Amino acid sequence: MPRLTHACTPFDGQQPGTSGLRKKTRVFMQPGYVETFVQSTLNAIGGAAGKTFVVGGDGRYFNAEAIQTILRLAAANGAARVIVGQGGLLSTPAASNLIRQRGADGGLILSASHNPGGLDADFGLKYNISNGGPAPEAVTAAMYAETRTITEYHSLDSADLDLTQAGENSLDRMTVEIVDPVAEYAALMRKLFDFDRIRALIAGGFSLRFDAMHAVTGPYATAILQDELGAPKGSVLNAVPSVDFGKGHPDPNPIWAKPLVDMVMAPDGPDFAAASDGDGDRNMILGKGIYVTPSDSLAVLAANAHLVPGYARGLVGVARSMPTSTAADKVAAKLGIECFETPTGWKFFGNLLDAGRVTLCGEESAGTGSDHVREKDGLWAVLLWLNILAVRGMSVQAVLQDHWQTYGRNYYSRHDFEAIETGAANAMMAELVAKLPDLPGTAAGGSVVSAADQFCYHDPVDGSVSENQGIRIWFEDGHRAVLRLSGTGTEGATLRIYMDRYEPTTGDLAIDPGLALAGIAAAVAGISRLHAHTGRNEPDVIT
Ligand code: VG1
Ligand code: CO
């Protein structure tokens, strides 16, 4: 089969430290674009010769075409085998699991995660390493350097492969193994959880809904929750992946999954509801009449995981991203285990998980996971919740109330200001950084600043240092605000303001969360001169 070498133009690829390359779909569709990025990735990891890769995506627009391109490049670069999800589908956690189970050298996952899909929406591509996790900073930095200097890529002149049937095919000298995307993932879930117990809970009349948001978890949730655990047909909503996610925004939060939230808030709503995102790594958890913040979810799971077979030996430690509330810290303290605070992004958990320092990890952005894979895992979190509810025989609401009464409550919210003009956002952050040393002692929003800094992470495993990972402001009453710019948007800048207020068990545990955090929001708006810089007062999304 003719292998061809094509000239290509270098470009500014994935910024070092970001989770994959995310751009408008039309950018990815430019001739040679995917090829240039994939060749850069292969060059950065020392070539593809003799290697095995896992490839799959969330099914969004251009997923199928990009996979064919990746297969041709892998073959022309001498890869031995590519394991690809049937129909080109693999959720991010399932891809992570496959890389690990099959001892692959790495994987290419096609997704822009929670960003919308379609010709005029977003596309993404990320490289995961052999532990199954996102490429660490050293690898993304090498990939970035390659994209800026690359001059040629290697491909094949070959027809598209049919990816609809499981089995082995060959593309030139490379084996293409098409696998059921669900099977190995479901097997892992069966090992971790007490499926009989969850089945009995559901058979006893416990009702649930899972919103797959027209994205990749549809087939996974249908197979596991309905076919295997006995949830009635119709329990999984929006279960068929579509290229534009039903024109929706596959982001499992109270804004984009509002119909699901409305359902659990209704008097005749289900006992439990959950949703996942485009690529299946996020989760939103709801109970009848209640939304569980992701930060609380992590804490509740940490406190109860030992009730579940896969975690019966207890946890070695927990980790949370810096902006995530400190609820999990309280649990770790009580359990007498370590709690790590890492920068935003799952790749920072990789070393801690590989070194056996932590069992559970979580982020405020609806990401929870454990050492079973090296990505956050939406459906896993749902099953862990279900298993805990089955053992405790309590409602979501009762579990949460009990948790707050034991550990105190962290009122928590994130405000997102989207598509801000990039220059204005950068100017605001720069001004804030400059005045950090002067902030302590300043009165703001009815409180006084006690400390302020920029988060710098020292990885306790490999000693690497990651600077400028977000601005932290503490107030004398113990409240905390964090500001950072998103690394996953594709339009202008997105500013995220995170607010965390802890009330001990002796405090008021039933304040309206919006009211509880209003003072911090006002303080941050004042200190950052948010309106003067951005013209914004109200966030676009509140989670
Ligand atoms: C966001 C979240 C972060 C998450 C990342 C990838 O990043 O805040 O917690 O790890 O998305 O999630 P940022 O830089 O936009 O704040 V996923 O599900 O989009 O892979
Ligand atoms: Co995601």
pLDDT digits (tens, 9 = 90+) for 312-341: 999 999 999 999 999 999 999 999 999 999
* pLDDT (tens digit per residue) in 467-499: 999 999 999 888 999 999 998 777 889 999 999
Domains 185-407 and 409-542 in one fold? no
- Mean per-residue pLDDT for 270-280? 97
Stronger pLDDT, 18 or 322, i.e. the higher one: 322
Q: Which residues does residue 340 pair with via DSSP β-bridges, in sequence order? A: 319
Strands laid side by side in the 480-485 sheet? 443-444, 447-454, 471-475, 480-485, 493-503, 409-420, 541-542
Q: Which residues are catalytic, by number?
A: 113
Residue (of 215, 461, 257) closest to 340 by Cα position: 461
Candidate from 91, 344, 483 with most ligand 1 atoms within 8 A of CB, to mutate:
344
Look up the CATH superfamily of 185-407.
Alpha-D-Glucose-1,6-Bisphosphate, subunit A, domain 3 (3.40.120.10)
Burial group, residue 505, by CB count within 10 angstroms (0-12, 13-18, 19+): exposed
Candidate from 320, 488, 495, 498 with most ligand 1 atoms within 8 A of CB, to mutate:
488
CA torsion through residues 345, 349, 354, 360, sign: negative
- The DSSP string of 377-393 is -HHHHHHHHHHHHHHHT
Closest atom of ligand 1 to 344 CA is: 9
In 209-326, which ranges are continuous DSSP H helix?
217-221, 258-265, 294-304
pLDDT confidence bin for 34, thresholds 50/70/90: very high
Q: How far is CA 115 from CA 25, 344, 418, 419, 488, in A?
A: 11, 17, 12, 13, 9
* pLDDT (tens digit per residue) in 423-472: 999 999 999 999 999 999 998 888 899 999 999 999 999 999 999 999 99
Hunting for tokens 């295997």 — which residue is that?
Answer: 228
Burial group, residue 504, by CB count within 10 angstroms (0-12, 13-18, 19+): exposed
pLDDT confidence bin for 17, thresholds 50/70/90: low
- Mean per-residue pLDDT for 224-244? 97
Q: How far is the CA of 356 from the centre of ligand 2 (A)?
A: 24
Average pLDDT, the chain: 95
Strands (E) located in 260-348: 272-275, 284-287, 290-292, 317-321, 338-342
Q: How far is the CA of 186 from the centre of ligand 2 (A)?
A: 19
Token code pair at residue 68: 């064919």
Residue 184 contacts residue 372 (beta carbons within 8 Å):
no
Residue 482 is predicted with a pLDDT of: 97
Percent of the chain having pLDDT more than 90? Answer: 90
- CB-based burial, 70-108: b 16+ in 10 Å, e otherwise: bbbbbbbbbbbbbbbbbbbbbbbbbbbbbbbbbebbbbb
Closest ligand, as measured to the CA of 60: 2
Q: What is the Cα 67 distance to its own chain's centre?
A: 22
Residue 6 is predicted with a pLDDT of: 92
| CA-closest residue to ligand 1 atom 1 | 488
Q: Which residues does residue 541 pair with via DSSP β-bridges, in sequence order? A: 416
Residue 474 is predicted with a pLDDT of: 95
Name the fold adopted by 3-181: Alpha-D-Glucose-1,6-Bisphosphate; Chain A, domain 3 (3.40.120)
Residues in Cβ contact with 77 at an 8 Å cutoff, skipping those fewer than 6 apart: 39, 42, 47, 48, 49, 154
Q: Which residues does residue 176 pair with via DSSP β-bridges, in sequence order? A: 82, 169
CATH number for the segment(s) 409-542: 3.30.310.50
HEC-encoded secondary structure of 53-105: EEEEECCCCCHHHHHHHHHHHHHHCCCCEEEEEEEEECCHHHHHHHHHHCCCC
Spell out which residues line ligand 1, taking CB within 6 angstroms: 19, 113-114, 277, 281-282, 321, 344-346, 363, 365, 367, 486-488, 496
Q: How far is the CA of 327 from the centre of ligand 2 (A)?
A: 23
Residue 305 is predicted with a pLDDT of: 98
Closest atom of ligand 1 to 365 CA is: 9
Q: How far is the CA of 146 from the centre of ligand 1 (A)?
A: 24
**What does the alpha-carbon distance between residue 486 and residue 363 come to, in Å, rounded to a whole number?**
14
Token code pair at residue 205: 């009349």
pLDDT confidence bin for 20, thresholds 50/70/90: confident
**What does the alpha-carbon distance between residue 446 and residue 429 come to, in Å, rounded to a whole number?**
23
Residue 16 is predicted with a pLDDT of: 65
Q: Worst-scoring range by mean pLDDT, 57-71, 222-236, 250-264, 303-317?
A: 250-264
| CA-closest residue to ligand 1 atom 16 | 486
Run of H or E residues at 427: helix 422-435
Burial group, residue 180, by CB count within 10 angstroms (0-12, 13-18, 19+): middle
Domain ranges for the chain, please list them. Answer: 3-181, 185-407, 409-542
* pLDDT (tens digit per residue) in 66-113: 999 999 999 999 999 999 999 999 999 999 999 999 999 999 999 999
CA torsion through residues 299, 303, 306, 309, sign: negative
